Homo-oligomer: A and B are copies of this chain.
Amino acid sequence: MAIALVCPGRTTHLWIDLLKAQDPSLQVDVWPDLVPGRLYEMAITWNHPPGSLAAIPGLKCVSSLGAGVDHIMFDETFPEGIPVTRIVDAGLATEMAEYVTLMTLVFKRELFSHLERQRARIWRKDAATKQDRVLAVGVMGVGEMGSAIIRSLTALEIPVVGWSRTTRHPQLSRSYAGPNEFRDFLGATNILVCALPLYRETEGILCRETFYSLPHGSYVINVGRGRHLIEEDLLSALDDGQVAHAALDVFRTEPLPEEHPFWSHPHILLTTHIAAITRPENVARQLVENYHRVCANEPLLNTVDRSRGY
């Protein structure tokens, strides 16, 4: 009876301490140093190497360390029939809403123009706000993250429209759903936020066609996953001015390679996957609870619909 921690490149001792604080009797081993012959009922993973989970003996469930499970779903070798669970952390959604609100206001209130005017010692009151030029913030993904974003922007009376591949947002007056309504949604927003989960149907959704369905000079904020974005399509839309500025927190390759053109692009504001960070202390309880459930053959919490992909 043991847990395998499969999080290469991450420090694991804090996680082990927190898990054991919940249940001192736990046996937690860190991949790749698993003990031969030992069975691991549960794997806790973040960016595991494809194939590594399939090789763990005794596996009865896999839990993602974060809200996203795309790293598991995209692993073709991952055995069917093993349930996948994810972390539900209200704090994550709040942090995400903070980040998106910050970037929305940076664009809406033209913070960079103010910084430039300060550098040049120019006192100007007019044209100081994009206030009247914001159609609406368009939030793609209306789940836990998207809803927190919508709540925060609505409190500021910023108009918001939502889109999701499958469902309409229940509280939003202007909510779009499905591929057929995607173009109408894009036409109604000039600050586009991607807060979608990543799965086959959303991969590459931030592409040329999407950018050119927005009004000219729109803004793009990606807090989903790097693979939502076709990088060269963003660069050429920025060159055209079709996209005025982008704020990116996630990338296809992380850490972002030093020679990547995003680093020095004057119209890209880049942060290093910090929009919302899972706090170990908030989630250790959920992980151990699910471990006890899997050992007792009880139903798991926060399972992922594997056919849907998230």
Q: Which residues of A contact B (CB under 8 A)?
A: 94-95, 97-99, 101-102, 105-106, 108-109, 111, 114-115, 117-118, 121-125, 128-129, 131, 151-152, 154-158, 254-256, 258, 263-264, 269-274, 277
Contacts and interface: CB of A to CB of B under 8 A. Distances in A.
Contacts of A155: 151-152, 154-156
Contact of A118 (B111, B114, B124, B270): B270
A258 B119 CA distance: 11
A244 to B, nearest CB: 18
Nearest to A105: B102
B156 A272 contact: no
Nearest to A112: B115
A168 to B, nearest CB: 22
Nearest to A270: B118
Contacts of A115: 269
Given A101-B105, A156-B94, A128 B263 contact: no
Given A99-B109, A101-B156, A109-B102, A272 B123 contact: yes
A16 B89 CA distance: 55
Given A125-B277, A255-B123, A98 B105 contact: yes
